[in-house]
Amino acid sequence: MLAADKQLLDAQLHNELQELRRLEITNIVNRFQSALTPATLIAGFCFASISEVDIIETENVGPTAKFFEPLFYICDAFSLACALYVLCVSSMGIIFGQRLTIQATHDQGRDHEKSVRELNDKFMLVLIALGTSMISVVGGELQTLFHTSARMHSSPAHLANHPSRALSQPHCL
């Protein structure tokens, strides 16, 4: 009777341990899934902004606009690269984590802590890349603002239609 109770207790502890391991990996997979949404949005916006921004003619702008345009492309390309890295690593983390949850072998179950540590390390890299991508997007969009304002202030057509000029001229009724 005592041996049967011991075996039952061991089986229950083993089942609870497996459930805790499954829950831990499920939480890591959920973290990777939460990183996919912002990375997808950033990648889409960066690709659209790179492909939609017109290249300026060098004779129509001053030196400041010539300076800001390459910075815009560098920031957005870097942000796109970081977002794509996040997408790839998160997708692989999700696949690997779900595979560990469902099909873990005895050896993988024994090395559970090592697998979880590796997934957590990859997730930290994903967070760093996602944060860097967000900062780079903001930097690229600031370059767009500076580029647009430098281009607008240097074009003669803009100066003729500037609102302050219209306000400074007297109007006759």
Closest among 124, 121, 119 to 95, alpha carbons compared: 119
The predicted-structure confidence for 2-35, as pLDDT tens digits, reads as follows: 788 888 888 888 888 878 888 888 999 999 999 9
- In angstroms, rounded to a whole number, what is the distance separating the alpha carbons of residues 153 and 161? 11
The confidence score (pLDDT) of residue 47 equals 92
What is the pLDDT tens value at each position of the chain, 173 positions in all? 778 888 888 888 888 887 888 888 899 999 999 999 999 999 999 999 888 877 666 666 666 667 778 888 899 999 999 999 999 999 999 998 888 877 766 666 678 888 889 999 999 999 999 999 999 999 988 887 876 665 566 555 544 444 444 334 444 44
Q: What is the DSSP letter of 173?
A: -
Domain ranges of the chain: 35-149
- In angstroms, rounded to a whole number, what is the distance separating the alpha carbons of residues 87 and 46? 14
